[in-house]
A and B are shown apart, each in its own frame.
Chain A
Amino acid sequence: MKQLGIVGQSVHRSDGLGHVTGRTTFIDDISYPHMLYISMVRSPVARGKIRSIDTSKAEAFPGVATVITAKDVPNNLYTILCLIGIGPNDEPVLAEDEVMYEGEPICAVVAESEEIAREAASLVKLDIEELEPVLDVEYALRPEAPKIKKWGTNTFTYDGKDHCQIRFGDVERGFAEADEIVTGTYQLSPIEHAPIETHVCVAKPEPDGRLTVHTNTQALYFTLDNTAIILKMPSNRIRMIGGTVGGGFGGKVDVLTEPITCIAALKTGRPVKWRWTREEETRCSSTRAAVKIEMTDGVMRDGRIVARKVRSLQDAGAYHRHSPYGAMKHMVNVVGPYTIPNVWVDVYCVYTNRQPSSAMRGFGVTEASFAVEVQMDRIAKAIGMDPWEIRLRNAYRNGDMRPFGKITEDATLIETIQAAAKLVGHELPPELAQMHSNDEGGYAAAQRATA
């Protein structure tokens, strides 16, 4: 490997001195004179029809500047993935006629202090007709389940299908040939990003009619473009400033604070700050999707995995946000870093009346790795093979075909297994210790030969 100068050196973090002295400017550290604060009124029910919203008491509360409802939003629809051609858009910025999850934003109280905004928000009267929520993904797929999406299904539509899929080789032939069939079901729970810094946004109207927006988004332009579309403003009328975030982990890519904070600033002509409470961060921001994975493998007694069939249900929650993409990322990774000649994968992005799931550190893959790697141990157990050996024998080699039609390159799974064994003092038999990712060995080669 080429020796380099500064690359490869553990130089100090350029923001390290700011962090240790508390002088790094996070978004919540920004304040302007005459700034107003937002408190959000959110749905108390998981699914319902909004009959009426009475904001009169909140508006009359001393110190309240304004209350923002759906009719104040110029284009009341998030456009999360429309810029890259994924649709249809399905999530309102503020709820209009229905609520789809507990915690869905309904109206924003804008006031002189957080304390005033909070108390005034408690005075907004909601009249909501509660409907049966759909919470279980298996139930959501059944014909008798209420269809919670306006387009009449409980699934995201991929090219006319209710799921996305991989078809590679002949999985039924693989099962027929297999010595053992090993099955496993894997379930994850909704996981919160829990950055120590919650969502914060500060929007300030400028004399020239522009808006300066400070935000801890993970994606400035994505946020800029989405906010501009929602506000029906040319994007260069908005200056989005950020770049320093107190922990993200995927939780700050959903453009959840900026449009409303901007609307409040435009409506009042004053700077406005919206800082989420910890409870909002926990219960109203996106989560890692709860995913259910059913995995069935055909295995030979010598350890070769000859077929893998996966049915996976991603609980997208009420709106899709980044889940349709996460499901596809899951689809291509749920086979794992192993060479398997026959693969069948169906992944469903399913809607429920739960806070939406979205991006989180490795989403799609984390869940897949969990299922695949526990399944590998199940297989090892089923055929009486050592867990190190089952992985080394099936590990993909450079040049192997992946089930999604890409030739493997940059494979180093074997090398990490060997290094981990060494790290914990586990001695591998010579045959396994000598394997490498460019060798012709392993079962992949045998499978190539028989394929």
Chain B
Amino acid sequence: MSAITVSFTLNGRATTLTVSPATTLLTALREHAQLTATKAGCSQGGCGSCTVLVNGEPTLACLTPLAHVEGQEVTTLEGITPVGGLHPLQKAFYDRFAAQCGYCTPGMIMAAKALLDRNPHPTREEIAAALSGNLCRCTGYLPILDAVEDVARQNGGGER
């Protein structure tokens, strides 16, 4: 069977994966790099549960051919989790009961991180807009928006 080899930076580490040509970043992360935090929800760009960062920008891993990340920087939820601790977004999601089944959570946190990296003190409307491509079937979103707003407030905003 044919294969392609792709080298990129994955959570800060130089990584080279050999995969079949049509392999998506999502499959590569989950099945080749054994990083399973990133979830497959629809594989068609409709749910956002596979959201990761490519060069800091939120990206749907299910619609990204692995070949596209050659030489790029990919960050997954594993990559923002400090050893033995939590990222402020993770802490806020935990405290706010923002994860029920937990399946959309990794994508939600990555989408929120992309927002806060660009805009440390977004309004609630800006938070909602940034997460509008990420579906959650359990929570009704309120605790998720609350959690991101908590972090925005810690950043010195949120009430603008």
Query: Do A and B contact each other directly (Cβ–Cβ < 8 Å)?
Result: yes
Which of A's residues lie within 8 Å of B, judged by CB?
A: 10, 12-13, 15-26, 28-29, 31, 62-63, 113-115, 193-198, 245-249, 275, 277-278
Q: Give the chain B neighbours of A198 by CB distance below 8 A.
A: 40-41
Which of B's residues lie within 8 Å of A, judged by CB?
A: 1, 20, 22-23, 27, 30-31, 36-44, 46-47, 49, 76-78, 81, 86, 90-91, 93-95, 97-99, 101-106, 109, 135-138
Bound CA–CA A278/B39 (angstroms): 13
Q: Give the chain B neighbours of A18 by CB distance below 8 A.
A: 102
Q: Check if B97 sits within 8 Å of A115, measured CB to CB.
A: no
Given contacts A22-B38, A278-B43, contact A245 B94 (CB under 8 A): no
Given contacts A20-B90, A20-B109, A22-B105, contact A13 B40 (CB under 8 A): no
CB closest chain-A residue, reference B40 = A28
- Nearest 7 pairs between A and B by C-beta? A22-B37, A19-B102, A246-B103, A19-B99, A278-B42, A29-B36, A20-B90
- From A22, A23, A195, A277, give the contact of B101 (CB < 8 A): A195
Q: Check if A21 sits within 8 Å of B103, measured CB to CB.
A: no
Chain B nearest CB from A37 CB (Å) reads: 10
Bound CA–CA A194/B97 (angstroms): 21
Given contacts A113-B20, A115-B22, A197-B41, contact A20 B99 (CB under 8 A): yes
Chain A nearest CB from B62 CB (Å) reads: 10
CB closest chain-A residue, reference B38 = A22
Apart from A21-B90, A26-B103: 14 A-B pairs, beta carbons within 8 A: A12-B97, A19-B93, A19-B102, A20-B102, A22-B37, A22-B78, A22-B106, A28-B36, A62-B1, A196-B104, A197-B101, A198-B40, A246-B102, A249-B137
Q: Give the chain B neighbours of A22 by CB distance below 8 A.
A: 36-38, 76-78, 81, 105-106
Q: Check if A195 sits within 8 Å of B36, measured CB to CB.
A: no
CB closest chain-B residue, reference A30 = B36
Q: Check if A196 sits within 8 Å of B95, measured CB to CB.
A: no
Bound CA–CA A285/B44 (angstroms): 18
Chain A nearest CB from B118 CB (Å) reads: 21
Bound CA–CA A28/B38 (angstroms): 11
Q: Check if A196 sits within 8 Å of B1, measured CB to CB.
A: no
Given contacts A26-B39, A197-B41, contact A247 B101 (CB under 8 A): yes
Bound CA–CA A26/B103 (angstroms): 8
Bound CA–CA A15/B95 (angstroms): 12
CB closest chain-B residue, reference A63 = B1
Chain A nearest CB from B10 CB (Å) reads: 14
Q: Give the chain B neighbours of A115 by CB distance below 8 A.
A: 20, 22-23
Q: Check if B101 sits within 8 Å of A196, measured CB to CB.
A: yes
Q: Check if B103 sits within 8 Å of A17, measured CB to CB.
A: no
CB closest chain-B residue, reference A17 = B94
Q: Check if A197 sits within 8 Å of B103, measured CB to CB.
A: yes
Q: Check if B31 sits within 8 Å of A31, measured CB to CB.
A: yes
Bound CA–CA A18/B38 (angstroms): 13
Chain A nearest CB from B14 CB (Å) reads: 22
Q: Give the chain A neighbours of B46 by CB distance below 8 A.
A: 278
Bound CA–CA A193/B138 (angstroms): 11
- From B41, B76, B77, B91, give the contact of A196 (CB < 8 A): B41
Given contacts A20-B109, A278-B46, contact A194 B137 (CB under 8 A): yes
Chain B nearest CB from A282 CB (Å) reads: 9
Given contacts A63-B1, A196-B135, A249-B137, contact A20 B93 (CB under 8 A): yes
Q: Give the chain B neighbours of A193 by CB distance below 8 A.
A: 137
- From A16, A28, A31, give the contact of B39 (CB < 8 A): A28
Q: Check if A20 sits within 8 Å of B94, measured CB to CB.
A: yes
CB closest chain-A residue, reference B46 = A278
